[in-house]
Amino acid sequence: MTKTALVIGITGQDGSYLAELLLSKGYEVHGVIRRASLFNTDRLDHLYNDPHDPTTQLMLHYGDLSESTSLRRICDQVQPDEIYNLGAQSHVRVSFMQPEYTADVVAMGTLRMLEVLRDYSAASGKAVRMYQAGSSEMFGASPPPQNEETRFHPRSPYGVSKAAAFWHCVNYREAYGLFIANGILFNHESPRRGETFVSRKITRAAGRIKLGLQEHLYLGNLDARRDWGYAPDSVEAMWLMLQHPEADDFVIATGEDHSVRDFLDKAFEMVGLDWTKYVEIDQRYMRPSEVDHLHGDASKARAALGWAPKVDFDGLVSTMVEHDLVLAEQEKTLKDAGHSITPRGQFADG
């Protein structure tokens, strides 16, 4: 029997890799997308077929976590077996500037989705399974290594909202016996990472500076340490959580941590440049309260799900730099033909 999955946040980094994974496993995949004034499906375009083609396995529907009516209608129409809630205002620095909006989408949006799940499960009689995208940002100030037993001490409106969403999920699991798995994922990156997250901001800049398209890279705190993994490895863990016999919560991490400085060293070494000549510190990229050190212990996921990361830190940085060098070469060709090229990752204060 073909399984049907509903992915909220399908246009994001993780959503696009998850859609690829599910399609490769024979799923019919439905995604929720937001209406935007420009198309926002770049990360999915290689997967998308004309919906009028009866063989297409990927369908997109307009909806939003801020509106339960749309989520309810989509769920009733699609009749999913598995729901992946990856939708979020996912930028930590932006959450300090838009705290109410972040809480509404991340915490309340999850609660809205849970209410839809509750009613849909009862009406359909299906044993529906839901994945919730939790975050290591929930651990915040708790010292490393962090695992499923570590106390949450979030340090941003985003982290607080993710912690609220986590507990809503635990509560719905206990109250209504629903299958809901919380993934507690540490940072994961890829060539599809948004360009205002530090990893991609660095690899985009390395490529552009190498080709003379950018002069400086403005950053904030270089001392923060993160457990950086590879996004395709992370989405595999999401799927494994929903195939597990019991609904549970799992930390997903590489078990290695590096500083932003280490990331700069590796990325600029790959393009043969000394980053200290280009990087400038800009206070607007600092956070009112910072998460200093994340280092995950994913022993539970290794034992129960058989999950392990396939790509290490060096492999991750190399993949991203190689990809962004090619992008920079394309931009250079455009620039040489008279087009203007803007380093958009440095546009806004986030």
Nearer to ligand NAP, 79 or 98 (CB): 98
Nearer to ligand NAP, 192 or 210 (CB): 192
Min separation Cβ 173 and ligand NAP, Å: 19
Nearer to ligand GDD, 287 or 302 (CB): 287
* Helix, strand or coil, per DSSP, at residue 105: helix
Total residues contacting ligand GDD by CB under 6 A comes to: 23
φ, ψ for residue 126, nearest 5 deg: -85, 150
Residue list 316-345, contact with ligand GDD (CB under 6 A): none
Query: 158 catalytic, yes or no?
Result: yes
- Residues of this chain that interact with ligand NAP (CB under 6 A) are 8-9, 11-15, 32, 34, 36, 40, 64-66, 86-90, 105, 133, 135, 185, 187-188, 194
- Helix segments in the chain, DSSP class H: 13-24, 68-78, 92-97, 99-103, 109-124, 157-176, 198-210, 231-243, 260-270, 299-305, 313-336
The torsion angle over the Cα atoms of residues 203, 206, 207 and 208, rounded to 10 degrees, is 120
Nearer to ligand NAP, 155 or 210 (CB): 155
12 Cβ neighbours under 8 A, 6+ residues apart? 43, 86, 87, 90, 194
Min separation Cβ 100 and ligand NAP, Å: 13
Min separation Cβ 183 and ligand NAP, Å: 8
Residue list 248-267, contact with ligand GDD (CB under 6 A): 260
319 Cβ neighbours under 8 A, 6+ residues apart? 190, 191, 230, 311
* Helix, strand or coil, per DSSP, at residue 245: coil
DSSP assignment of 145-185, as one string? SB-TTSPP---SHHHHHHHHHHHHHHHHHHHH--EEEEEEE
DSSP category for residue 106: I
**Are 349 and 284 spatial neighbours (Cβ–Cβ below 8 Å)?**
yes
Query: 285 catalytic, yes or no?
Result: no
Residues 190-219, mask of contacts with ligand GDD (x by CB under 6 A): ------xxxx-x-----------------x
Min separation Cβ 260 and ligand NAP, Å: 14
Q: Which of 135, 156, 190, 199 is catalytic?
A: 135
Nearer to ligand NAP, 183 or 207 (CB): 183
Query: 156 catalytic, yes or no?
Result: no
Residue list 92-121, contact with ligand GDD (CB under 6 A): 92-93
* Helix, strand or coil, per DSSP, at residue 136: helix
Catalytic residues: 135, 137, 158
